[in-house]
Chain A
Amino acid sequence: MRLTCPFCGERDRREFTYRGDAVGLLRPEGTGWSAEWDDYLHNRDNPAGETRDLWFHDPCGAWLEVTRDTVSHRVSDARWVSEGKA
């Protein structure tokens, strides 16, 4: 698998660290424990097919939101998370 970092171009998978489903960008309001926090931390759609997840590019420090297929491993998009939340 290769991912395209907007800064660095197409790079080997070994340069990236997987940081979970892009639902991680949708942090709930408040700091107290709630059903929303439980859902945010634990529950996942876990799709067999297109998904969006977060990858960290270790050399340059970019956080990427990657659109990818979990069945074929095809990567269709990778953008900075700062370009818009999920």
Chain B
Amino acid sequence: MRYSGFRVLREGLRGQRGWQPAWREPDPKREYDVVVIGGGGHGLSTAYYLAKTHGITNVAVLEKGYLGGGNVGRNTTIVRANYFLPGNSEFYSHSLKLWEGLEADLNYNAMVSQRGLINLFHSDGQRDAFARRGNAMLAQGDDAELLDRGGVARLLPYLDFDNHRFPVYGGLYHPRGGTARHDAVAWGYARGADRRGVDLLQRCEVTGIDIEGGRVRGVRTTRGAIRAKKVAMVVAGRSSQVAAMAGMRLPIESHVLQAFVTEGLKPLIDHVVSFGMGHFYISQSDKGGLVFGGDLDFYASYAGRGNLPMAEHVMEAAMSLMPAIGQARVLRSWGGIMDMSPDGSPIIDRTHVEGLYLNCGWCYGGFKAVPASGFALAHLMATGTPHETAARFRLDRFATGRGLMDEEGTGAQHNLH
């Protein structure tokens, strides 16, 4: 069923009786050309682009829970292309372009909102660093504008400009950045893949990966064995467990990242704003809740929830940036399981097993990458060569030391990003 304004009107007049499920609930087939492990944003977009761009439709997406129930439903929904280093720069630039055409492409309202993103700076040195980053963004063909204090005050009048400890010197404005409705992104890709023949298999947990003679032959699941010519592991925080089924030990440590949302408020924050001094960022959802977060808790965790010291730190940063937020009540907080790589950048690559592919290492930035990640992995699996925007996301860069993408400049080792 194609969605349109006419369809909404027609169903409204007919008592909403004509709607159909957005995707099928098929039983697993015995064999597929491609099996994608993981029904989150990245897995679903991989399946979608395999079918749409490469015509590979005999595909199954295996999800141990429900579609979109992992990190794609647990993030802070921010979309941006403000990276600095070669590798990340062209990849996230491509992803933002895909975001811009996503809803028309999927025929699905993902509520993509390019409301603009502003990274604040609070010292001369930080201004220089952001000017340099802005130049890199412009050189990549994206948009960036350096705002002075007055420019920030016009856009964000509610900030505490009189804060003597962290004075606002200005901000790097990225007008094409913004937010998207995270669940709808998963649903839109799921529906798009399903309509092209992809089987979405929920409550189907992979329990083993069959490898014969150095080649992948299929997977064993809680819904039976499934043979496959190619298998992709796209499981974010659970990457180490799934890769271990193929005898791999990954350069990944899973950490918890917390996020928070307040009760619904009248429109207050029109952009995405990040505080340069306390690792804090905030936007307002279309429901009115202030959605914000900070840094990792900084210890390995699969708990899906964090500890209070980081919650306290985030609240303190919020109060430093915009004291008015103290009047809002926090509705809930949660944690996602982040697949942290040593240099803070992702991995999209083949493995030592023929036909087995790996997509992981998204750290705390996987949501904005959803379109380009699936696009690049689909390209790699279909053509055998990496897509030009993701060619640097190699698994072996840690062993060789070549092509490390340490965006924060803190060193390519665990626990530094």
B312, closest chain A residue (CB):
A14
Total count of chain A residues near the partner, CB < 8 A: 26
Residue among A18, A44, A46, A51 with max Cβ neighbours from chain B (10 Å): A46
Contacts of A26 in B (CB 8 A): none
B301 at the interface (CB under 8 A from A): yes
Cross-chain contact A43 with B249 (CB below 8 angstroms):
yes
Q: A18-B299, A51-B300 are in contact. Are A46 and B307 (CB under 8 A)?
A: no
Cross-chain contact A43 with B303 (CB below 8 angstroms):
no
A85 at the interface (CB under 8 A from B): no
Cross-chain contact A44 with B252 (CB below 8 angstroms):
yes
A60 at the interface (CB under 8 A from B): no
Contacts of B413 in A (CB 8 A): 41-42
A13 at the interface (CB under 8 A from B): yes
Nearest CB on A from B218, distance (A)? 24
B398 at the interface (CB under 8 A from A): yes
Cross-chain contact B309 with A13 (CB below 8 angstroms):
yes
C-alpha spacing A39/B309, complex, angstroms: 32
C-alpha spacing A19/B249, complex, angstroms: 20
A38 at the interface (CB under 8 A from B): yes
Q: 1/0 per position for B259-286, CB-CB distance to A under 8 A?
A: 0000000000000000000000000000
Cross-chain contact A48 with B252 (CB below 8 angstroms):
no
A73 at the interface (CB under 8 A from B): yes
B241 at the interface (CB under 8 A from A): yes
Nearest CB on A from B208, distance (A)? 17
C-alpha spacing A11/B403, complex, angstroms: 41
Q: A20-B415, A48-B238, A48-B241 are in contact. Are A73 and B399 (CB under 8 A)?
A: no
Cross-chain contact A1 with B307 (CB below 8 angstroms):
yes
List B299-324 residues whose CB lies under 8 Å from chain A.
299-303, 307, 309
Contacts of A19 in B (CB 8 A): 415
Nearest CB on A from B399, distance (A)? 4
C-alpha spacing A71/B299, complex, angstroms: 12
Residue among B251, B300, B303 with max Cβ neighbours from chain A (10 Å): B300
Residue among A1, A14, A42, A45 with max Cβ neighbours from chain B (10 Å): A42
Q: 1/0 per position for B235-251, CB-CB distance to A under 8 A?
A: 00010110000000111
Nearest CB on A from B163, distance (A)? 24
Binding site for B on A (CB under 8 A): 1, 12-14, 18-21, 33, 35, 38-39, 41-48, 51, 53, 70-73
A-B residue pairs, 10 tightest by C-beta: A46-B240, A42-B251, A18-B299, A42-B398, A38-B399, A48-B302, A43-B249, A14-B309, A71-B302, A70-B302
Return 8 A-B CB contacts under 8 Å, by A number: A12-B309, A20-B253, A35-B399, A41-B342, A41-B398, A42-B414, A44-B240, A53-B299
Besides A20-B415, A44-B251, 10 more A-B contacts (Cβ < 8 Å) are A12-B309, A18-B298, A18-B415, A21-B414, A41-B413, A42-B399, A44-B250, A44-B414, A46-B252, A70-B254
